[in-house]
Amino acid sequence: MVIFDTASEASYLYHMHKIILDNVRVFTNHGCLTEEELIGSEYRVDLEVKTDLTKSSETDSLSDTVDYVYLNKVIKEEMAIRSKLLEHVAQRIIDRIFKEEDLVQNIEVKVSKLNPPLGGDVEKVTIQMEQSR
């Protein structure tokens, strides 16, 4: 049990909330095969960031929150940079958000290649990475 001497000490309790971007669709050319580079394919990105939304829920101010338009922009810009491996692009997304957005404490990102060239009927292959500050 944690006991605080003052109300201001108690205000440092951190609330964890989520902002989720689900099913961001991108057409790009990641992969190890030459054909993947030339032809490209469809990708899906799911992003979940954890942050404290207490202040923004009270102020109703965009400057007090993590802007999901910004998060979508990061996804699209990083997905536009070719990588051989999905985990490489996922790590770039994580690194950039942590570098540019101080309010984010935890990130979970899933990058899926839809209809991957595996020689079979596979809907998607997905990598999932999660990191905290």
Q: Tell me the catalytic residues.
A: 113
| Long-range Cβ contact pairs of 86-94 (< 8 A, separation 24 or more) | 86/30, 86/111, 86/112, 86/113, 86/125, 86/126, 86/127, 87/111, 87/127, 87/129, 89/30, 90/127, 90/129, 91/129, 93/45, 93/47, 94/129, 94/131
Give all strands of the β-sheet with 17-28 in edge-to-edge order: 17-28, 41-51, 106-114, 124-132
